[in-house]
Amino acid sequence: MPRSFLRKLLCLAIAALMALSSLTAFADNKGDILNSLGVGITDKENDDFVTRAEFAQMLVSLGGMENLSDSTVFSDVPDEYKAACSIVCKFGYMNYYEDMTFHPNDYVTREDCAKAVVIMLGHKELAKYTGGYVNAAKKLKLFKSGSADYKGNITYDELLEVFYNALFTETGTPGVSDGVGKTLFDVVYDGDLYEGKITSTAYCSFNGDETGDVRRVRIDGAVYKTAIDVSEFFGYDVEFVLRDIDGTDTITFVIPKDGKNTLLELEYDDIINYSGKQYSYYENSKRRTANLADSVAFVLNGGTASKADKETMIPKDGTVRLLDSDKDSRYDVVFITAPKLKEVSAVNASKEAVYCSDGTGYVMDDYDQTVFEGLELKKIGKNTLINVFENSDAGVIKIVTLTNVVSGKLTATGEENGRDSYWIDDVQYFGAADMICETVPEVGQDINVVLDYAGRVGKITVLSSKDIGFIIDAAKESGM
């Protein structure tokens, strides 16, 4: 049932009620979600730094304060940012300089971000108790675990993470360090939410009625247009926001409904067996079982699959997640992610085609455009690694370029639970089952490794002295 479609714009700023915490389990499309809410910057790259003016604009959008104003004018701020910069200074989220300048092009640090958001969301008292805004931000779990160097500049990707977490953190009030039961989303977007269960997406369904369009989704029998990709929420009970876009009710935000969905993640090494719609697995050295529902849906690499044999259900190089969305202790959806690792042998940009060393090829015109989404043909070439997500029922669903490269000295090798492992500068990485290795590396050698979608080693290349010099020169040029 819908709640009244109202947006309380002034509530947050006047009462200064906002806080930050965490909901990161489903944040893969956090950029799309924030953009749909008017918070993101569409032309920003993930590793770009964020200027003070951009940060001020995003803060105002996050807090729903676009209708507020302040008479303060900074001489060095472009017109498009003047209002936002004035508002954030008025409420103490950011500071200005004695000469009435704002320094709009300076970059924002992680510490700046922590201070602005903690104050904005009413947790100044928490900052006092914990010894500062950074500690308060850590307590509220705003940043990814392991974030360091809070004096350093924050990247756009990190900022999206913080703002996404902020949406679902209980708010505080001045003088109260604990939350008061409402989240930032509740305060700013109160009344926009509907509820339902996602039963069909472009490639997934319980009964063969896939929508065939990534911008269409079926919730409790009704088909909706969506401005974001919600395929990862297939089978979930969700809350979603509907907005009128070009005369059509369109979903602009989706989140799993609190308390309605139970997710069990199984590692390959922990699975003992699969038989008769039942998994047996180890948890903390104890044998457990997980029973599947009679009408369970199997989702392989993002699409419904009819094949449910043992090899498919226990992928050696993949992940298994089980979803129970009706609280009956039986799992309604099995999500299996096990893409194929392939090496590109050639690219034909004019034909928009990618050819692989195993003889397969992929031409963009043969697929929905979302298959090649993010696959920049101009940036890939021979020997580039890709992950191909497909199954026999849905075909190729997604192709992802692997660009996460780690360089360093191989300090040790070994085997753990049947997997090859490599220590690069004393950091351990596990090898993918179909890893590509041109030359077997020896301990002490300098190597390059390309990581697959799950952070496993997809390819190892032993570096020559010439390669090492090139990497050092490139690092110097980039200011690393």
Contact 57, 38 (CB under 8 A): no
Of the spans 224-238, 389-403, 451-465, which averages the highest pLDDT?
Answer: 224-238
Whether the pLDDT of residue 200 is over 80: the answer is yes
377 pLDDT more than 60: yes
CA–CA dist 31, 35 (Å, integer): 6
pLDDT of residue 380 exceeding 70: yes
Task: Please state the pTM of the whole predicted model.
Answer: 0.64
Which range is least confidently modeled, 16-20, 101-105, 419-423?
Answer: 16-20
Instruction: Determine what percent of the chain is predicted with pLDDT higher than 70.
Output: 83
Res. 477: pLDDT tops 60: no
d(Cα 305, Cα 204) in Å, to the nearest integer?
8
Secondary structure of the chain as H, E, C letters: CCCCCCCCHHHHHHHCCCCCCCCCCCCCCHHHHHHHCCCCCCCCCCCCECEHHHHHHHHHHHCCCCCCCCCCCCCCCCHHHHHHHHHHHHCCCCCCCCCCCCCCCCECEHHHHHHHHHHHCCCHHHHHHHCCHHHHHHHCCCCCCCCCCCCCECEHHHHHHHHHHHHCCECCECCECCCCCCEHHHHHCCCCEEEEEEEECCCCECCCCCCCCCCEEEECCEEEEECCCCHHHCCCEEEEEEEEECCEEEEEEEEECCCCCEEEEECHHHEEEECCCEEEEEECCEEEEEEEEEEEEEEECCEECCCCCHHHHCCCCCEEEEEECCCCCCEEEEEEECCEEEEEEEEECCCCEEEECCCCEEEHHHCCHHHHCCCCHHHCCCCCEEEEEEECCCEEEEEEECCCEEEEEEEEEEEECCEEEEEECCEEEEEEEEEEECCCCCCCCEEEEEECCCCCEEEEEECCHHHHHHHHHHHHHCCC
**Mean pLDDT for all residues in the chain:** 81
The yes-or-no verdict on residue 365 having pLDDT over 60 is yes
Alpha carbon of 470 to those of 384, 403, 443, 467: distances in Å? 18, 18, 22, 5
Rg (CA), the chain: 24
Least confident span in 1-5, 103-107, 403-407? 1-5
Q: Over range 388-415, report the average pLDDT.
A: 87
pLDDT recorded at residue 205: 93
Section 382-387 average pLDDT: 87
Give the pair of three-digit tokens for residue 145.
């675990």
- Name the band, by pLDDT with cuts 50, 70 and 90, for residue 41: confident
Find, among 398, 345, 392, 350, the residue nearest to 371 by Cα: 398
Q: What is the pLDDT of residue 376?
A: 65
Mean pLDDT is lowest, of 39-48, 58-67, 176-185, for 176-185
Note the pLDDT tens digit of each residue in 231-264. 889 999 998 888 777 888 888 778 888 788 999 9
Residue-wise pLDDT tens digits, 53-111: 999 999 998 888 887 877 788 999 999 999 999 999 988 999 999 899 999 999 999 99
Least reliable range by pLDDT among 120-124, 288-292, 363-367, 415-419:
363-367
pLDDT tier at 320, thresholds 50, 70, 90: very high
- Do residues 290 and 278 make contact, with C-beta atoms less than 8 angstroms apart? yes
Among 61-65, 191-195, 279-283, 392-396, which stretch is predicted with the lowest mean pLDDT? 191-195
378 — pLDDT class (breaks 50, 70, 90): low
For residue 103 the two structure tokens come to 């320094």
pLDDT of residue 13: 29
Instruction: Please list, residue by residue across 222-246, b when 16 or more beta carbons sit within 10 angstroms of its beta carbon and e when fewer do.
Output: eebebbbbbbbbbbbbbbbbbeeee
Contact 133, 127 (CB under 8 A): yes
Angle at 93 between CA 97 and CA 104, to 5 degrees: 45
